[in-house]
Amino acid sequence: MLINAARVLYFRWCIAICDRNCKKAWGICERPRIQLSDDEDDVYYRGDDELGEAPDDPGTYEGGHGKPYSPDEFPNKWCVRQCERCSFENEGEPIELSDWSSGHYNIPR
């Protein structure tokens, strides 16, 4: 599997990685979800297996940066702050790549 990795300054220096699947990146604020209760944080984010391709411009911007048109444009501020497919940790700590092939509950079940 190909991934992108970059050292970025996000409050402090850290490593950011992504799965290079921009066509499936909605941004965490726009990713389709199902509300499960009255608690606004109690949601199920739909997985890639439930969705088609994400829009080229999901309408979210971070520091003037929008979703990249190609994984070769990684990282920009949108990638690190908004993209649900981007994972980052402090240097020296293990990084787990997010898997969006199936859905995610925001509150563990």
What is the C-alpha separation between 18 and 105, in angstroms, rounded? 20
Digit-by-digit pLDDT tens for the chain (109 residues) are 677 777 776 667 778 889 999 999 999 999 999 999 999 999 999 999 999 999 999 999 998 999 999 999 998 899 988 999 998 876 677 788 889 999 999 998 7
Residue 65 within a domain: yes
Q: Look at residue 43 in the predicted model and tell me its pLDDT.
A: 97
Whether residue 82 lies inside any domain: the answer is: yes
Q: Is 43 among the domain residues? A: no
**80 within domain boundaries:** yes
Residue 86 domain boundaries: 4-31+53-98
The pLDDT value given to residue 91:
66
Copy the structure tokens of residue 67: 């979703």
- Is 90 part of any domain? yes
How many domains are contained in the chain?
1
Could you count the other beta carbons within 10 Å of the beta carbon of residue 100?
Answer: 21
